[in-house]
Amino acid sequence: MTTLSVTSLAQSLGEIPPDNIVFGHSEAMQAVRSRLSRVAAANVPVLITGESGTGKDIIARLIHTLSPWKSGPYVKVNCPAIPGTLLESELFGYERGAFTGAVGSKPGRVELAHRGTLFLDEISELDMSLQSKLLQLLQDGQFCRIGAQEDKRVEVRVVCATNRQLEAEIESGTFRQDLYYRINVVNLRMPSLRERRGDIEGLCHYFLDYYNRKFNCRARPLSNEVLAVLQKYHWPGNIRELENLIKRYVILGHEEVITNDLVTREPDFITPEISLDGPISLKKLTRQCVRELERKVILKVLQHHHWNRKQAARTLGISYRALLYKIRDAGLPSNRALREQQAERTAAEQGGANRGAAAD
């Protein structure tokens, strides 16, 4: 077993953070950590990039917690969640009579974040006019409420996040280049879970412990076999996907929940893992892709026939016996296991909701 540092920020940076973060040993996360400690203290904008579920939110909160403005407000704006027309008034506020229905004046979230941190999540969703207003805010700390005669001034630390390639948005003319330079003074790139496979085990321990406590359960540590399956999986949903999987395991208490669940997810056969450190066997790689493709086709056909294997064999033009072999070789669950899994999923959803409500 690898040893992993599951380090709380309290230990690593001498602060008491609201959350513990699993940094692990991966180079990519160590780079984030060493930048984080330096960046948090300086009043410069930070751009956090990375795929969905890699921890952009959690890192943004930590930047605030570790900053000199930690006792000030932390204001998050989830840009895509607010309809375009409302976003300007949400962000910058308005004066009475600024538009129909503005019966009073209201401060925006920029103002509410005064002497604290403003976290703009999914920044690429801002339209061009809001991008200009944000640029002004970043340049001189000034902004104008809708309908106001004069500018206001705030002191605010701006942290932005995105899972898109902003360079591509600039290229296509939907994101301002000057704004990009302003928000990207420091960049923190959150690595995907595929890039930090060595940290998977530590994350599992962390979530297991966390959810055992939260739900008052006693799920046992994962076996080496299951850990090996988790290591191989391609994790399109990153840490969030892993967290949800462990949460379900804790609630249901047995490992088949994990293995049965993962085998029915889409395999990443199109981009097989290629290590360029040594020679590549094209023959081996092709065989591996063909096997994955076969597995995917069998799975689709089985799902189509509600796991009736006789019908599936007929559709695939192979014998029933041959299909049984292939199911076993591909590591697909038997239909009995699947029925159980379905029942468990329903129970987990109900139980999880009940327990969660009790625990919160």
Ligand X SMILES: Nc1ncnc2c1ncn2[C@@H]1O[C@H](COP(=O)(O)OP(=O)(O)OP(=O)(O)O)[C@@H](O)[C@H]1O
Q: Which residues bind ligand X (CB under 6 A)?
A: 21-22, 50, 52-58, 163, 239-240, 243
Considering the complex, what minimum distance in angstroms separates the CB of residue 78 from Mg ion?
8
Instruction: Pull the structure tokens for residue 71.
Output: 């006792």
d(CA 163, CA 148): 34
Please say which residue, 15 or 57, places its beta carbon nearer to ligand X: 57
Considering the complex, what minimum distance in angstroms separates the CB of residue 239 from ligand X?
4
Query: Which of the listed partners (ligand X, Mg ion, none) does 164 bind, with a CB threshold of 5 to 8 Å by partner kind?
Result: none
Region of residue 317 (phi > 0: left; psi between -120 and 50: alpha; otherwise: beta): left
Mode of pairing for the β-strands spanning 152-153 and 142-143: antiparallel
Please say which residue, 58 or 316, places its beta carbon nearer to ligand X: 58
Only one residue has tokens 């229905």, namely 101
User: Which letter does DSSP use for residue 221 in this model?
Assistant: P
The region of 37-45, 56-64, 111-119, 267-275 touching Mg ion under the rule CB under 5 A is 56-64
Considering the complex, what minimum distance in angstroms separates the CB of residue 10 from ligand X?
14
Please say which residue, 54 or 89, places its beta carbon nearer to ligand X: 54
By beta carbon distance, the residue nearest ligand X is: 55
Considering the complex, what minimum distance in angstroms separates the CB of residue 64 from Mg ion?
14
The region of 35-43, 53-61, 109-117, 220-228 touching Mg ion under the rule CB under 5 A is 53-61
Burial (Cβ within 10 Å: 0-12, 13-18, ≥19) of residue 344:
buried
- From the list 99, 83, 95, the residue with the least C-alpha distance to 144 is 95
Considering the complex, what minimum distance in angstroms separates the CB of residue 308 from ligand X?
37
State which H helix or E strand residue 142 sits in: strand 142-143
d(CA 109, CA 90): 6
> Residue 19 in contact with residue 61, Cβ under 8 Å?
yes
Burial (Cβ within 10 Å: 0-12, 13-18, ≥19) of residue 291:
middle
Please say which residue, 66 or 302, places its beta carbon nearer to ligand X: 66
d(CA 190, CA 334): 38
Query: Which of the listed partners (Mg ion, ligand X, none) does 52 bind, with a CB threshold of 5 to 8 Å by partner kind?
Result: ligand X
Q: Which of 57, 169, 261, 340 binds Mg ion (CB under 5 A)?
A: 57
Please say which residue, 189 or 309, places its beta carbon nearer to Mg ion: 189
Query: Which of the listed partners (ligand X, Mg ion, none) does 265 bind, with a CB threshold of 5 to 8 Å by partner kind?
Result: none
Please say which residue, 209 or 268, places its beta carbon nearer to ligand X: 209
Number of shown-chain residues binding Mg ion (CB under 5 A): 2
Please say which residue, 163 or 334, places its beta carbon nearer to ligand X: 163
Considering the complex, what minimum distance in angstroms separates the CB of residue 57 from Mg ion?
4
Query: Which of the listed partners (Mg ion, ligand X, none) does 163 bind, with a CB threshold of 5 to 8 Å by partner kind?
Result: ligand X
Considering the complex, what minimum distance in angstroms separates the CB of residue 121 from ligand X?
6
Is residue 294 involved in binding Mg ion (CB under 5 A)?
A: no
Cβ partners under 8 Å of residue 108, min gap 6: 89, 90, 91, 92, 93, 94, 143, 145
> Residue 108 in contact with residue 145, Cβ under 8 Å?
yes
d(CA 19, CA 66): 12
* Residues near Mg ion (CB under 5 A): 56-57
